[in-house]
Chains A and B, each alone.
Chain A
Amino acid sequence: MKQSQGLNFHASFLETLLSNIKDEESFHELYIHLKAPIYAYSLSLLKNKEDALDNVQDVFITLYREIDSYQPNQKPMNWIFTITRNAALTKLRKKRITVELEGNENSIPFSKKEDQLVFQFFMEQLKEEERNIILLHLLWGFKHREIATLLNSNLSTVLSKYHRAIKKLKEMEEEHE
């Protein structure tokens, strides 16, 4: 089966793709696997679909350009995460207050009503940090301990926020079942 889900794949697989990034096929493969996690985290920070999509583009262009500065055996997802976050923060700085104004206008069309609900819940009901922890764990594959380091927090906080958020997610699901 083709690995179409960008989750749970092995770091060495990612490493291989990265080292061959100038090869069109590898680059494309990388894109297929990573566009969702990168987009999700960008959206979580930027809170605006257009900006998040822009950020996805910028991140891939940066990966392509800066590949020489990546040292193999480093953790590839950490490197990609740093690039994603920096790119988003730069945009955020430029956008300043407008973020708050546009924050709630995430009218993204979904084919299924259920998806719409989950998405809205995710973006609006969860606090930004809870959302980031969930994303980084489930989509980026970071361990809780790693997330604590990335978000400058500690393990017990990350764990309790993670569980609280998952619980809320489940409760929401059940309500709508």
Chain B
Amino acid sequence: MNKEEIQKKLFNLFDEQVPDQFAQILSKSQKEERNYDMEKNKKNQGWWWKLSIAFTFLLMFSGFFYVYQGNHAVDSIIEIDVNPSIQLEVNKHEKVVKWSALNEDAEEILKDMDLKNVDIDVALNAIIGSMVTKGYLDDLSNSILISVDNDDPKKAEELRQELAQKINQILNTDKIEGSILSQTLSETSNKEKKSEIDALAQKYHISTGKAKLILEVVANNPLLTVEDLVDLSINEINILTQGKESSLSSIEKQGNASTKAYIGEEKAKEIAFNHAGVKNPQYVEIEFDTENGIILYEIEFYENNNEYEYEINALTGDIITNKKEEEKTNTPSNNSDSLISTEKAKEIALNHAGIKNPQNLKVELDREDQEYSVEFTYNGYEYEYEINAVTGKIIKSEKELDESASRNSNTNFISSDKAKEIALNHAGIKNPQNLKVELDRDDQEYSVEFLYNGYEYEYEINATTGKIIKSEKERDD
């Protein structure tokens, strides 16, 4: 099979598996486009409207216009998420122009509040005070997310620092040790990411800030999904990232999420060990996880070659799932400490090959398969080993003539004319049609194909020795 045949075969193989979904794709694409256009129109209308107002003002009170701009134009957008999610739009002087509730809990907080033209400090004080009174912020749940958006990233960053500090002060006066997550949203440079964030916020009716936080958490923890997180409070999300903050690069964090509402790791372990009837658990790992909106402890441990896995409701201590598995490979997995070193892998391979000074040595660890691959050349041969990274056992060993070495010395190959001659002589033919001679360097073979008198001839010829490896003659249909 030559390259072209493989290519065709693969193409057809995969092509066959895809039913014609074009009609569906087309209609979805067109529908999406219509929606998009509609939204764009809406936005455009808004823009025209604003412009015409501005124009009127400009014409009527040209001097006054700047004052208007300063007092009413939105300069920064600030989002506060606890579980209530609130959005504040403030002007240049950091006075509130507009305030809105992004979820039901927020409506309760903002009810009867008039924040118009109120200083942002005062507004924050009122909002957070209300959250404390209504029980959204306390010792058991102390996390708050603040997100600042301003066209000027520098200004956004300044405001972020200022607000994070202020919130901390406010919480302190209420004797709450808060955990404050803060971020800026002025990442206009990354358009794709921004639209992903906006789409998520729209889909789940959450704030842009929370959407950004969720995407970042999910990106850094493949075991969590967006759906897992959208309904959680900021404290709950915060708990899930505990100890992994370094990975949340664009989010600043002060203080730790409160876990006081939960039974605690020790209690959770006790419940699991008792249930499993295990006395000497080893390699115990415990972590917060979430499922169906519930925060749970995920506990893994081993005893006597058995692997145990428990999920325990972190609030109630109920066992949600428990699994016991006989361990197949050696304990424990996914832990690089238990893998043999690169040096050791190299040593195993070299010992097996009986070689001391290999050339072009390359050792690679495949973490997924927990295998080392060790490759080297020696004395014109290419060696290839696959070694179990846990046990050190050789899974595969291969030794073959180094192709690259022989490839460089392909002056030893017979010429393509010579190959053609050999084939034609063998066939006893002088004037073939559609003659094609190809050198396959991998196999070190010439393939010679031609037509003659209604027959198709195919030869494979050893490129070094000129020996005919295969000859075929068949009717050309």
Contacts and interface: CB of A to CB of B under 8 A. Distances in A.
Interface residues of A, number: 43
A57 B226 contact: no
Question: Chain B interface: which size bin?
Answer: 35 or more
B11 A5 contact: yes
Contact of A6 (B11, B191, B226): B11
A173 B443 CA distance: 15
A39 B15 CA distance: 8
Contacts of B15: 6, 35-36, 39
B300 to A, nearest CB: 14
Nearest to A119: B13
A166 B33 contact: no
Contacts of B355: none
B7 A139 contact: yes
A134 B21 CA distance: 26
Contact of A57 (B7, B13, B28): B28
A151 B191 CA distance: 24
Nearest to B384: A164
A113 interface: no
A40 B28 contact: no
Contacts, number: 101
A7 B11 contact: yes
Nearest to A116: B13
Contacts of B59: none
A122 B10 CA distance: 9
A118 B5 CA distance: 13
Given A28-B22, A56-B18, A166 B442 contact: yes
B26 interface: yes
Contacts of B8: 5, 7
A97 B368 CA distance: 13
A27 interface: yes
Interface string A22-61: 0010011001000111011001000001000100110011
Contacts of B26: 24, 27-28
A2 interface: no
A11 interface: no
Nearest to B382: A160
A169 B5 CA distance: 12
B13 to A, nearest CB: 6
Contact of B6 (A36, A49, A166): A166
Closest 9 pairs (CB-CB, A-B): A36-B15, A64-B29, A40-B14, A36-B14, A138-B7, A35-B18, A60-B25, A39-B18, A94-B225
